[in-house]
Structure formats: structure tokens, C-alpha cells
Structure 1
């Protein structure tokens, strides 16, 4: 299971608490790409400011894209024209594509040159999040898992107890129906199903299922776990009254106090706090339990991928990547986003985040789910993006009530199967 604690290893070398300061020999400018500036900008700015105090001769030029998908397409285009940035932070589920195409560089030799990776805070579980193509394709920068955001005021008005929320989906759906029944434009629930397969995988993994078979030769979601996941989304619509909103519209409704339960990534905790302000009493909690023994949750987020070829720029980009994923860097990332820390030392040592989590309880829901979090599945082959879109398109048929889960699942399975790499 990822994120297994390793306090003894992490604290074995006190010097590992700080990234070694090694001055660049001459001024150098590196181009660093990242996606979703509406979530990440403040964290990267804070890290760059701290990094500049250690490495004043390294300048950073930022390149951003609105989301991970556009970031992936940008890097693929630039790779074709030899115009790659020096460092790119990509979604976990797309690193495999870059590894298979030879764009990502293996980082393990660089890590090992500095010492035992675990002693630097990179435990096997953390490294596994960005290990694709048979090598270390990146270093995890930020990780998230899906949580529940809820309006405590609406919960109370609907007869619920914000301090004792239901722990299963059936209870959440019943509560959502009661919130919607309050009228006055109130919506009960919104499960962010569109955009990618991440939230669907939260239901699938929550049932103990998996996307593909272990040998990756065939799909594995076409059985009971996949069907029950689609039926759960169907129940959200039919019984919970979930409206077919865009994610942006749902965020706006929630911030305005007109949506009771919102299920999405912990990445937007900080932004949600700012949007809600004093409109209502905001709470966060875990995703409802499906299978207490086998259930897992997908780990979303981003990892830094080294792409520089010029030796001086590669060295500088590596230093920034290391700092951004160090205990100090990951603490700055957490404080400026809501993501889960990606350095075990920052998790274990209270000097980094202990006071922050004590003073900011809304950030702790995702941390409590770390023990059941597993990597976001990355589909193999050149059609991975099409696979994701195919799944989203079929889930839309359920949300829009154009087809039943029993009709959708065979279609989705057949379409995804056709897009998988052919194997002898």
C-alpha cells in the first residue's frame, strides 16, 4: 500500500531534513511547465521564492496550461519539434505515456547519487506513484484523493448531523434528497463524474475492483464492481436528485450555499475555503465507505518529469525538482493548496506540517484516507486519452438518463477493449 510510514528511515539521517545547498556555477534559466494554475500557482510561487534563496543563480520561466490534458498535448507537440521545457509537472496517469515514448528521463540514478531515497523522504510507496515504463519517470509533487465537502447549515436544515455524517453512500443519497426537498433552488449532491475517469475509479476501486486484468491484456471493470459503480451514479441522479451540472457550475452553487454535498478532489480545499468565505459552515470528510476490507481510492495529482537535455539546464531543473518535492517544498505545497504531502519526512516530522494540520482541520480529510489510497491507473498504449474519453462519454449516458447502467457497461467495456494495445 502506498505511503507506508517509514519514520525510522526518514529520521535516520538528520541532514536529509534539508536539501543540500549546491550553488549553480553560472547563471542559468530553466523553463518549468505545470498545469492548473488556478490550483497550483500560489504553491509554485512560494516554492520558487524559497528556492531562489538557496539558488540565486537559477532563474525560472513559467509555462502553464489550464489542465493536465492540455499540458500533455503541449509536451507531445514540443517533443516533436525539440522545444521541450526543462521540467514538466504532469498528471500521474499520463506519466506512463511519456515514459513509453522516451520523453521522461529516469530519475532514480540521480536520487541514488544523493543517498538512500527513503532517507530523503521518497519511500517506495511515494516513488511508485510516478514509476512507469520500468523506471522512475518522475517525482510526485502533489497527491490528492476524493473527499466530501458539505454545507453544515444545509445538512442541519435537512435533519442531518454535521458531526455524525452517514458513512455509506445510501445514507449520503438519502441526505441529499432531503436537502433538495428543502426547495428554494437548493441542490442535494454533485459527484464530479466528468473530465476524466478519476472519480469513476474512486467508485470502482471503492468496490475493490480494478480497471484492467493484472497482465493488462483485458478489461477488468465489466463485472460486478463496474456495474455497481454505474448503478451508484444512477442512484445519485434518481434518488439523490443530482443535477447534470458542469464542475464549474457545481462549484459556484456550492460556494453560494445552494449545494449540500460536493464530492471531488482535496486539491480544491484552499480555493473552496476562499470561495465560501462566511457564506456557511464548511466541513470536509472522507468519501463514503463501500467495501471496508477491499475498498481503495485513486491518488490524483502531479509529478515532476525531467526533460532537459542541456547539462547545465538539466542540473538546474533537477535541483528545483528536488527542492519542490523535499520536506520543505512539500510543506509549502500543502499550505498553498490542500493536496497530500509527497515527502515522508514532512508527514512524519511535526516541525513541517504538525501545526498547520492542527490549525486547519479542513485539510485533514484526505490525509486520513492515505492508508487506502493507491495509484491512479494509467492505461497502456497510444490510445490512453481516447480510453478515458470513452469512459466519460458512457458515464454521461447514465447521468443524463439516456441509458441504464446495465446497457452502458457492456458498451463501455467493448469500446475500451478495442482501444487497448493488441498483444500476441
Structure 2
């Protein structure tokens, strides 16, 4: 018998002995990226159920990614098979609000005494606010960073104390590393990551936007987007980057076959564990962020979906625990995500970042953080795929020399999918 089953049996016995006919409330939860969050949720579940023996948390199989999570919730809303709680990408809460699937957390927050003293500051609440109401509490927050194989950096003759600050320097270093051996690639840029996150990042870094302020016109086809897509094409033309899948790109870096990997801070812990002593890994800031530029906040928020009053009370207890200072600290310690709750840094992680500099890179970039943009309307997910497909035409080599025209075609296709 497992510890969890023993706790449940003990709680059930107590209920019978006291004459209370109420059984434990089952709370069905679903989250993305099982490989990243498996240890996180195992620890959260154990500690939460120990404190709340009247609540039984059941996890569904993890979503593959944020798009998968949103699509499943939309289908399950029709078939009435929704989980009680869903962890959704920060840019995927909006469509659930627009479709009246997500439950407002305002009534629950209003009942809390000293909510801000528990680390829930306004900027944290703003991330999940739509139509002036909080619908999602951020659980894990990330920013794009650079991962370096310092062994290959040194072999390429680069000053290890002055890692690249610009994409020009990145491309120069990548070309040097690429020339070291035919089995080594200079760099991997994980542009296929969910939600066009690493397309938005270079555009935002130059002060650009995805759409106009009224969200009726494409805006990424201006000078910022032109620079971003041309830089992307240079990765293949000048830096020796290959058309890797997400998994293959990650494996290339982990196995020591790539000098650089541009990805989310969320994977720092996993990268350190997988690489071990095979080479020295160091993280560094995302390149070429100009004054006034920004970087999109990645990660996910907890969204309540159940409309059942009893389950809502249980769901709110779990949401509060998972986003509390203690819960946020567990996230930081088991992944590479940054804790959105202030109390996590003030009480639980005081010495963590000084001892783990690879985790601190993203924290240094916090002043650059902006919203991960969610395209409006029923075609929001389709727009994400359209942008991906146009970028793939460059990555495959088919249109690697046509960045300007690819951008024009991308903008035209997205414009057609925007709400009238």
C-alpha cells in the first residue's frame, strides 16, 4: 500500500468514526510537460494532501504542450469532461476566458485576508487578469536565455569571460564552433517552442509588437520583424544551424554536439542533471535587447474550470497552495522556472540563486518582462501554426534567402485570420 493510499484510508476511517458521511473530495488536475513538471507535482501532491486529507488530487496524463492543453480543454468543455483545474500557458488563458470556460478567481481572492502579504503582488495578479478580473494565477514564469557549452566556447578561441551580448557575436561564435568538427553544430535556436515564443522574443526585444493597439492590424511586419526574421535566416546561412526538431536540438546540446542553445530558463535544472560532468554549462542573457525592448514572459497559470461549488472550494485551496511562497519555491527548486510569488524569494530561496548562478540569469532579466502575446479571436491557435509554418520554410532551406518575402506572406496570412 502506498503512502497516499494509507493517508486516504486513515482519513476515510476518521470520517466513519466521527459519523461524518462526507467522503474526500476528488480534485482532477491536468498540467503540461510531464518531463519538466513530474517531480514538481509529485512533491506538491504529497505535501498538499498531507495538509488536506479530505481532498484527493488526481492527475490526468500531462498535456504535450500549451497548444495541446488549450485544444483539449475546448473540446472537453463541449463534452463536459473538463478537469477541475488546468495549468494553461500564460498566452492561452485568454481564449478560455473569451469562451466562458475559465472561472473568475475574484470571489475567492476577495475572501482572503492579507492576500498581498502572502506574496501575491499586483504584477503577479495582472498576468492572469482579463476584463478586469483575475482568471489565472501564475504558477511558473520563464524568460528566454542562452545556454553555452563552455568547453566548445574555449576550443573556438572565444573569451569565456565575455559571452555574446548581440546576435552578430552569437553568429560569429557559432560559425567558429561549427568549423571545429563536422559532428558539431554551432548553435540551436528553439524557434518551434510553443506559442511562437521565440518569434515574439526577438521582435519584442527591438520594441516591436505582434498587432496594432486595437488588435486589428498586423504589426510584426515592421522594421523589428524584418530584423528578427533576417537574423533568423542568418542562423542557417552563416552560423551552421541545422533544421532540428525541438527534441533533436535539445539532444544536440545535451550530448555536447552544439555550442549554444537558445531556450527557456525552465529547463536549467534538467539540463544540469542530464549534462552532469560531461562538459561545463553556463547560461547567459538573451542577446540584442535594445533600450526600450522587452522579452515575453513564458510559463503557465492555474485556471479553475469546475463550476461545482464544493469542488471550487477544494480547487481554491490547491491553487493557493501551489502558488504560495512554498509552492513557488518547489517549482524553482525542481525546474528552472522563476517563482512569481514574492514570498518564495524572500523566505525560501534567499541563498538559492547565489549558489546556482545558472538559475539567476533569467532573474536578472526580470525588468525586461512583458506579456506573452495571445492572438485574439477564434483563430488564435491557427495563427500560431501559420507563423510556425512560414518560419519552417526558412529553416528547411526552401526560402532561407527570402526572409523579406516570407515576412510579407506571413503577415498577409495572419491578417486574414484576425477578427473583423
Normalised to the residue count of structure 2, the TM-score between the two structures is: 0.92
Shift of 1:289: 2.4
- Aligned positions, number: 395
Shift of 1:384: 0.4
Shift of 1:133: 4.1
The answer for the alignment partner of 1:53 in structure 2 is 50
Distance in 2, matches of 1:104 and 1:116, equals: 25
Shift of 1:388: 0.4
Distance in 2, matches of 1:36 and 1:26, equals: 31
Shift of 1:116: 4.6
Larger-Rg structure: 2
Q: Secondary structure at the match of 1:260?
A: strand
Distance in 2, matches of 1:83 and 1:381, equals: 24
Per-residue CA deviations over 1:265-322 (Å, capped at 9, x if unaligned) read: 011111111211111001111101231x111101111100001122221111110011
Distance in 2, matches of 1:222 and 1:230, equals: 10
Distance in 2, matches of 1:55 and 1:162, equals: 50
Matched, 1:391 2:387: yes
The answer for the alignment partner of 2:34 in structure 1 is 37
Shift of 1:358: 2.1
Distance in 1, matches of 2:149 and 2:267, equals: 15
Q: 1:100, 1:133 within 8 Å by CA — same for their partners in 2? A: no
Q: Secondary structure at the match of 1:61?
A: strand
Shift of 1:138: 0.6
Shift of 1:72: 1.2
Per-residue CA deviations over 1:226-250 (Å, capped at 9, x if unaligned) read: 1000011011111111111111111
Q: 2:49, 2:57 within 8 Å by CA — same for their partners in 1? A: no
What are structure 1's unaligned runs of at least 5 residues? Answer: 1-24
What are structure 2's unaligned runs of at least 5 residues? Answer: 1-21
Shift of 1:26: 5.5
Normalised to the residue count of structure 1, the TM-score between the two structures is: 0.91
Shift of 1:253: 1.2
Q: Secondary structure at the match of 1:197?
A: helix
Shift of 1:198: 0.4
CA RMSD of superposed structures (Å): 1.3
1:17-416 equivalence runs, <5 A: 27-63=24-60, 64-195=62-193, 196-291=195-290, 293-347=291-345, 349=346, 351-403=347-399, 404-416=402-414
Distance in 2, matches of 1:290 and 1:325, equals: 30
Distance in 2, matches of 1:223 and 1:401, equals: 23
